[in-house]
Amino acid sequence: MWQIPLISMTLTGGLWFGVSRVPDLPYFQLALLFLAFAGNTALCFIILRLRYVMERHLNWLETCYPSGFVAARGTRWYNRPFLVRTLFQSMLGLAAALSLVLFCATLWKNRSEVLGIMPQKPAIAYYDTHATSLADGYETVTFEQAHPDLVQIIAMERAGQPLTVLDIGAGTGRDAAWFAARGHNVLALEPSGAMRAIGAKLHVGESIVWRDDALPELTQVMQAGKTFDIIVISAVWMHLAREERATALSNVYDLLAPGGTAYLTLRLGPAEPSRGIYDVTLADFKALAQSLSLPVTVLRTQPDLLGRSHISWQALRIDKPAP
């Protein structure tokens, strides 16, 4: 009986620690929390049974072997019979109840993924759920590796100029941080709260302004009426449905200052509806830009830097003429 609190503490502590180590695996978290709830509930009943057996044994000892029996029927609150059992059960009950609360909260937070409900904004829901593990991948790639053409554009065409930069779908802020570190004025738009939080934490102290805003409407930034010298839209276009793309592109163009450049990377690869990824082709993009009379310059195509062989990235630029 005395081992039970030890078993419970080891079990609950280990399982809760496990939950904290897999923030992006909700099924696994739910399984661990359920195990913690079930384990502590079972121990609650086990302790009842053990105390009952113990009681019966003590009664037998008292009757059949009185000289070996030690009566310990205390009368104070701290030495009354059943005090130990009651306290042990309270601790186990608390651990089980907390595990159940965490189980329900985790289930609620991840309800769309776990229950297979397609959320209204699957891309944002995906980034919100998997932000931590995605962030590692995004931040291991450098700006220079991801955007060699943009590095060249800045070095060749904008050297020495302080720029106003808009990073749309900034993710963890890798690109925004590159510009901020060079003294440019950067506004990072990121609709996923979890990504925004990680980005702000990773690049704390760097002068990036973060906002919750999204394509195609870009409501806040359009209302602010500011324009930008450079607009970066890296690995975001595939999250727009076909019918959203004309509004998105024309808003991006409106946000360009005269002489400004929008730099985009298109994901060329299969659609993934569960992640809110739609099919994108260079031909479609060019046709869209042409329908809006926007000049597109095709830059280089790069393999996926995270090693996914079925995906490649097409860089593009759209320039607004200087007055």
Ligand X SMILES: C[S@@+](CC[C@H](N)C(=O)[O-])C[C@H]1O[C@@H](n2cnc3c(N)ncnc32)[C@H](O)[C@@H]1O
| Residues near ligand X (CB under 6 A) | 123-124, 127, 138, 168-171, 174, 190-192, 195, 214-215, 234-236, 239-240
Closer to ligand X by Cβ: residue 168 or 231: 168
d(CA 6, CA 283): 65
- Residue closest to ligand X (Cβ): 171
The least distance separating ligand X from the CB of residue 183, rounded to whole angstroms, comes to 21
Closer to ligand X by Cβ: residue 171 or 260: 171
The least distance separating ligand X from the CB of residue 140, rounded to whole angstroms, comes to 11
* Both structure tokens of 129: 């759920």
Give SS3 for 188.
Answer: strand
Report DSSP letters for 65-111, one per residue: -GGG-------STTTSTTHHHHHHHHHHHHHHHHHHHHHHHHHHHTH
Closer to ligand X by Cβ: residue 43 or 233: 233
Give 210's strand partners: 188
| C-beta atoms surrounding 309 within 10 Å | 8
Closer to ligand X by Cβ: residue 85 or 239: 239
The least distance separating ligand X from the CB of residue 316, rounded to whole angstroms, comes to 14
The least distance separating ligand X from the CB of residue 21, rounded to whole angstroms, comes to 23
* Both structure tokens of 14: 């280990």
Closer to ligand X by Cβ: residue 26 or 171: 171
* Both structure tokens of 34: 């359920």
The least distance separating ligand X from the CB of residue 245, rounded to whole angstroms, comes to 11
Report DSSP letters for 278-313, one per residue: ----HHHHHHHHHHTT--EEEEEEEE-TT--TT-EE
Closer to ligand X by Cβ: residue 163 or 214: 214
The least distance separating ligand X from the CB of residue 293, rounded to whole angstroms, comes to 23
Strand stretches in the chain, DSSP E: 164-168, 185-189, 208-211, 228-234, 256-268, 296-303, 312-319
